[in-house]
Amino acid sequence: MGSAVITARAAATFEPVGRSVAGARAFVRDTLQGWGHGDIVDDAVVLTSELVTNAVVHAGTSADVLCLRTDGGVRISVADRYPEREIPLQHSGRTVVPPDREGGRGLLLCGALASLWGVEYTAAQKHVWFQLDLPERPAGTRSAGPALPVDALPATDGRVRVAVLQIDRGGCVTSWNDDARDLFGYDPEQVVGKPLTDFAAWPHTPGTGTGIAEALRLSRWEGSYGIRGADGRVVPVYASHLRVRDADGEASTVCLLVRDHERAILQSPQRTPAPDAAAQPEGRPSDPFEVFIGSPAPDDLDGLLQRTVERARDMLDGDAAYLLLATDDETELEVRASTGLPSARQRFARVPVEAGSGRYGSARMPAVHEDLGAVPGSVPLLSGTGMRSVVTVPLKVEGRLTGSLGVAAEAAGRYSNEEALRLQFAADRIALAVERARLTELERLRRGSLSFLVEASDLLAGTLDRDQTLALMAQMTVPTLATWCAVYTVADQTSEPELSYVLHEDEDRIDGLKTLLMKVDPP
């Protein structure tokens, strides 16, 4: 931070255990929110998680986390006690070591998200630090844009109309202001008491985003759809929804709507880039998918799924996360990646897509379970894991359910609709990439299967000797398909199978394996 004056500091030390990563994330999140820097919390938490993981998991030492605040931004440093362990560095867009090496992802993210970052060595410690700048704002201002010439300002109609609707928890309109009447042509008595879905024209791309019923139940939502006017025409609108509760605790949703070409009135400002963003090295990820997953993204399905659950866990400060992929008939989901869960027990476990009659029983809808202890068995995958709260969202492509993404925490009440919205946003960004990687894997397996069959056919057609045929069958199986192989033959339909040939990839184990198989009944 150069000569900048430090206005606040916070420090904590975390032991070299896996749980320390979650503790470090919570420490940084609480610190920055306490300083009023909520707009950089997500980036700071993701980067801290990566660097602390490098320290406590890969370097195997405790991690000292130091947060420094100045008037212009925040600098966070993570120090470990293993200075001899060098880490991947990036200079001028050239990778000095392979980006998939341990620790590389964290530094790639530093390059993608931080304004500045670096590494400092002492005799006893290695310090990896990053800096996140804050946009300059007048006192009391949450966000501000630059002064613009008149011809660069957003265009509106002569009189801007902002329709204000209030929707009860059943989805029915309870309030309809004058601007709503002017925009859509309905008097209040024509719409009050009727479902908003009678008038809303939601984008017809089911599965690629949140539906209107779900959007009305989220704490916040913003986006485009249409309202069917009294004349039968659809008026494109841009909307901002906010879920509120009244003095009696009754929930409702306030909807602000403007014509779509006037969306600048309601649209949340884009994140202000760092002042030197234009001078950043080429190759920095700007795609939301790459920012979430990290660049470069894994080029294999398992790597992509594992990176996804790790990012989802970090994003929501969870203790565990898992990702399931749907079977071809969309009746079951299979666990393909997890973090923070007993992987040996969870890997490839299957659960039904429709586990119950309610919305929480279907993987096709987002769901938030505030306390699994109150409803034992509601999420079978988490039984016996110590997890108390979980949020799950679907992965969909062109209306098809392709998977489900979940994040869990050991504490009850950790997640709400706000976290469901953030996780769904991420899931919508990765769903297509995951499906593409899955199809690529299936094609690779198909080609491998065909190649194997062709090779097997050629080899077996080249001999008529029984013993040589049995040996070739085993050799084609080991180690391509299995660690060991046993070939049984049957003399005729009335005889028992006889063990004829045994092969193990470790030749020293063949005799022992054959002896063992001779003692058990044939398959």
User: Is 275's pLDDT higher than 70?
Assistant: no
User: Is 418's pLDDT higher than 80?
Assistant: yes
77, β-bridge pairs: 66, 129
Give me the mean pLDDT over the 475-484 stretch.
Answer: 79
pLDDT more than 90, % of the chain: 13
**Contact indicator for 321, 313 with CB cutoff of 8 Å:** yes
Show Cβ contacts of residue 14 under 8 Å, excluding neighbours closer than 6 positions.
Answer: 20, 21, 23, 24, 52, 56, 62, 63, 65
Q: How many CB atoms lie within 10 A of CB 463?
A: 12
Domain ranges of the chain: 8-133, 158-265, 299-442, 463-518
pTM confidence score: 0.41
Element counts in the chain: helices (H) and strands (E):
12, 21
The domains spanning 8-133 and 299-442 adopt the same CATH topology: no
CA distance 214 to 197: 12
User: Is 360's pLDDT higher than 60?
Assistant: no
CA distance 216 to 234: 20
**Contact indicator for 13, 63 with CB cutoff of 8 Å:** yes
CA distance 257 to 266: 8
CATH topology of domain 8-133: Heat Shock Protein 90 (3.30.565)
Range of lowest pLDDT (318-327, 447-456, 484-493):
447-456
Residue 510 host element (H or E)? helix 510-518
Confidence (pLDDT) at 292: 59
Confidence (pLDDT) at 158: 81
Confidence (pLDDT) at 178: 95
The amino acid at residue 406 is G
Range of lowest pLDDT (135-139, 181-185, 340-344):
135-139
Q: Where are the alpha helices (DSSP H) in 224-300?
A: 288-293
- Given CA atoms 398, 404, 409, 413 in this order, what sign does their dihedral have? positive
Give me the mean pLDDT over the 497-503 stretch.
Answer: 89
Three-state DSSP state, 235? strand
CA distance 329 to 152: 52
Per-residue pLDDT reduced to its tens digit, 159-182: 899 999 999 989 999 999 999 999
Among 257, 171, 256, which residue's Cα sits nearest to residue 215?
Answer: 171
CA distance 440 to 232: 45
The alpha carbon of residue 183 and the mean position of all alpha carbons in its chain are separated, in whole angstroms, by: 38
Per-residue pLDDT reduced to its tens digit, 86-122: 554 444 343 444 444 444 455 667 777 888 888 888 8
| CATH classification code of 299-442 | 3.30.450.40
pLDDT more than 70, % of the chain: 77
CA distance 224 to 257: 9
| CATH classification code of 158-265 | 3.30.450.20
Most confident range, picked from 21-25, 301-305, 390-394: 390-394
